[in-house]
């Protein structure tokens, strides 16, 4: 349970950092960011694997670049569900998902 809470807090901090770096990603505060991190974790665990499986032929044709678009769409989906977390446009979602994954990975390495 402790590991899960730490992971959610790391992802929330990475999401807050990403929103400060990218124009087009807006958050109202830490409450919205924590809820968005929880929902994003659920969406990435449930919906993302199915989408990657269904788009596998197209993903192979694009040499995996479609994965960035799928990650951006997952982030955009979360923004449509969570109040206080908004993404305006697909490009901020795609770039934000890249930055979010890099920052959360580095923070996870640092924490342990």
The encoded tokens of residue 80 equal 């449509």
pTM of the model: 0.89
pLDDT grade for 112, boundaries at 50, 70 and 90: confident
| DSSP character at residue 88 | -
Ranges of each domain in the chain: 2-111
For residue 2, what pLDDT is reported? 86
Weakest mean pLDDT among 4-8, 56-60, 87-91, 108-112? 108-112
Q: Is the dihedral of CA 76, 81, 87, 89 positive or negative?
A: positive
Each residue of 79-102: pLDDT tens digit?
A: 999 999 999 999 999 999 999 999
């Amino acid at each position: 349970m402790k590991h899960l809470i730490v992971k959610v807090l790391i992802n929330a901090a990475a999401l807050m950092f990403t929103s400060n770096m990218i124009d087009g990603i807006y958050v109202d505060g830490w409450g919205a960011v924590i809820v968005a991190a929880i929902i994003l974790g659920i969406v990435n665990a449930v919906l993302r694997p199915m989408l990657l499986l269904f788009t596998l032929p197209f993903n192979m044709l694009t040499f995996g670049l479609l994965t960035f678009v799928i990650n951006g769409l997952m982030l955009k989906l979360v923004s449509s569900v969570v109040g206080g977390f908004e993404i305006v446009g697909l490009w901020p979602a795609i770039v934000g998902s890249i930055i979010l994954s890099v920052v959360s990975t580095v923070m996870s390495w640092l924490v342990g």
